[in-house]
Each structure stands twice: as C-alpha cells, then as structure tokens.
Amino acid sequence: MTGGVSTFAVAAKSVAAAAEAGALQHDPQAVDTAIRKLDEFQRTLERIKRRSSLLATRTPLGGGYADRVGQINQEIGRLAQSTVVPDLVKAIDELKAELDKSRKSYRNVEESTSGTMNKL
C-alpha cells in the first residue's frame, strides 16, 4: 500500500539532487502546471481519507469468511486514514517544494544569461 509514497519520495530526491547539481532547471510554467496537478491529487487524497472512515467502521457481515472480509476492510480503512494518505500528502509536499526550487534555479539562470547578454 505504500508503493505510491516511495515513488513520490524518490521523485522528490531525484529532483533535489539534479537541481543541486545544476543539471535541472524547470520552466516556471511547467512547474506551475505540475504543482496544480499535484494539488488536485492531494485534494483527491483528502476526499479518499474522509471516505475511508466509512470503510474503517466495523461492519458485521456475518461469521467466518464474511467476518474476515469485514475485518480486512476495516484495517484498510484505518491504514488509509492513519498512514497511507498522510504519507502520500507529505511526499507530494516534498516533491512540490523541490519543483519550486528547480523553478527558482531556472529563473536564476535566465537572469544570469540575460545579464551577460546585456553586457555584450
């Protein structure tokens, strides 16, 4: 269930490493678009978290196999609320912060290049 979290964490680390090495500068418009999409995803995750409270509620489905299905649903709902969604939201925030840094790096390069061209 946490595969998505590790994917976002790896993406954030990759963007950070590339930006720090000067190998990555993102166009501000591309960063804005990416951040808007990530914001939408976070809002969707918050809706999922709210709805998972229904899944986390004990639902007596009968005995035996049905009872076990109810328990599994309850566990999934609790995990979504307590761990999966919050971890994903945090990882997305970290990715957005790194994207913003790469946007600033792009602007710094643009301003530096512009200043050099003006001196010529």
How high is the pLDDT of residue 3? Answer: 64
pLDDT band at 120 (very low <50, low <70, confident <90, very high): low
**Helix/strand/coil percent split, the chain, to 5:** 85, 0, 15
User: Which residue in the block uniquely carries the two structure tokens 């166009």?
Assistant: 27
Torsion, Cα 52 54 60 62, to 10 degrees, reads: -60
Is 109 a residue whose pLDDT tops 70?
Answer: no
Is 107 a residue whose pLDDT tops 70?
Answer: no
Task: Give the number of other Cβ atoms within 10 Å of residue 99's Cβ.
Answer: 22
Please state at what angle helix 3-20 crosses helix 85-119, rounded to 10 degrees: 20
Mean pLDDT of 63-83: 90
